[in-house]
Amino acid sequence: MRSTMMDTPLLISRLLEHGATVHGSAEVVTATGAEPRRMTYAQVGRDAARLAHALRDLGVTGDQRVATFMWNNAEHLVAYFAVPGMGAVLHTLNIRLFPDQLTYIANHAEDHVVLVDHTLLPLLAKVLPQLTTVRHVVVNGPADLAALRHSAGDRVTVHAWEELLAGRPETYDWPELDERDAAALCYTSGTTGNPKGVAYSHRSLWLHALQVCMPEGFGLGATDRTLAVVPMFHAMSWGLPYASFMAGSSLIMPDRFLQAEPLAAMIAGERATIAGAVPTIWTDLLTYLDAHPTDTSSLREVIVGGSACPPALMHAFLERHDIRVIHAWGMTETSPLGSVARPPAGVDGEQEWRYRYTQGRVPAGVAARIVGASGEVLPADGASVGELEVRGPWVTGRYLGEETPGEEKFRDGWLRTGDVGALSADGFITLTDRAKDVIKSGGEWISSVELENALMAHPAVLEACVVGVPDERWGERPLATVVLQEGASATPAQLHEFLAGTLARWQLPERWAFIEAVPKTSVGKFDKKVVRQRYAEGDLRAEQLT
């Protein structure tokens, strides 16, 4: 028997129409450094139609790729809906990548149009001559277009956003698409080898947005005001733009104002109720709030993902500012939400905290398993440690351009995440490290993340990054690089003794280096390969305890 249900495709255009009508009075607020700009969701719908008409006139007639090189702002949100809605593919370019990586990604994706914020023009200008498939650049904001047109050459036509959209119709006949067609494209950060493309479908983005809205996800509702700090050029801003249109939650966009002071002002001035960003953002904000009391009473919780959140940071926000930190896990390949650490019913006290320290529980639709070194599936007992593998309707099954999934990243229909950890019987993931960052010392494994979290619990430590370095006797040993709080002091011996209170002596680092800042990747994670390289080249002056 077949069902009697209508087969209505899950399309981004339908999500746009829903948000622009049912939640038309919700707003997107864009920071400017002065008075913020405001646009209702109804206006986003009208501008999305205008942009779609403009792109059609620029030759976007099928599934061409339209790239964005933009901050989190209202215009970027318009592109999020207009491009996939018209049947093209939105390609979010990471503005923090090196020029050669940007060039590779844009050419591999065969971008046809680039939408760019005027403040980012100097970065785009460096690579534009090498972008062989780009034919049009659309500049959002005031800029010297004559200079850009001169540098772009005859192959590329340069347009001003407002001029291009002016006079266009405010409605668009959004096409009926296959919900499994590509809607958006993101590339992995490419820490080893070239970045790899992940193409999200309309269906996967819809289902992912539903999970973001769920109470077990981020719990968005029409009364929320969501501060989307996580970049829209990274893993679709964790699905927050689409989920907000689905739920009617207003969006607060920081544009380029990502420092602690303007973020605190946005929370206070716009009465944000929920926010999402990587741990380094919240570390800086905590330091600022401790020194500059700010009204953050509206902020119900902050979602932390991208890398492990130190427990000390979670406790500090709750105890000093009454802000609840929610741990989440995911990756570009999982759209990115893979799990959220909301404790089960009936737990409190230390048991609740133990759940909150994990990477969270997998939602309906996502399956997870732990696989051993020989490829055997390990029991979900919370103790067996191996590589985490996942599968589900918003998990990629291959990379763009691959005819068949590569064995190094996919196994029997499962995505190999490269994360090492355990899985409990009730679906909670506890990750101990990235497979490439585990320190293999004398036949034992040492978790660099566990060492980092323990170090960052010391009151004198702002940040700590731990990597494995060569050791003649043990093969590898941990090197701890530490950033101290402003005005604080500590010695390697003191920090070593502090760790000895919670960790086994054989796990503790002998090598220590104090640095001004931990190097970060393009998405704000600790860049451990840079730390290893600096140590290997002798640029890190490490002290060794005996």
| Residue 390 near residue 334, CB atoms below 8 Å | yes
Question: How many C-beta atoms surround the C-beta of residue 290 within 10 A?
Answer: 12
The catalytic position among 179, 333, 389, 452 is: 333
Sign, Cα dihedral of 101, 103, 108, 111: positive
The catalytic position among 68, 103, 188, 283 is: 188
Sign, Cα dihedral of 313, 316, 321, 324: positive
Structure tokens at 143: 């800029």
Question: How many C-beta atoms surround the C-beta of residue 84 within 10 A?
Answer: 30
The catalytic position among 157, 445, 476, 529 is: 445
Concerning whether 445 is annotated as a catalytic residue, the answer is yes
- Map residue 320 onto helix, strand or coil: helix
Rounded Cα distance, 483 and 517, in Å: 6
Rounded Cα distance, 539 and 542, in Å: 9
State the maximum Cα–Cα separation within the chain, in Å, rounded to a whole number: 74
| 416 strand-pairing partners | 389
Concerning whether 188 is annotated as a catalytic residue, the answer is yes
Residue from 125, 134, 126 nearest 155 by CA: 134
- Map residue 21 onto helix, strand or coil: helix
Concerning whether 333 is annotated as a catalytic residue, the answer is yes
Residue from 462, 544, 540, 481 nearest 511 by CA: 544
The catalytic position among 32, 170, 176, 440 is: 440
Which phi and psi angles does 421 have, rounded to 5°?
175, -160
Rounded Cα distance, 78 and 74, in Å: 6
What are the catalytic residues? 188, 333, 440, 445
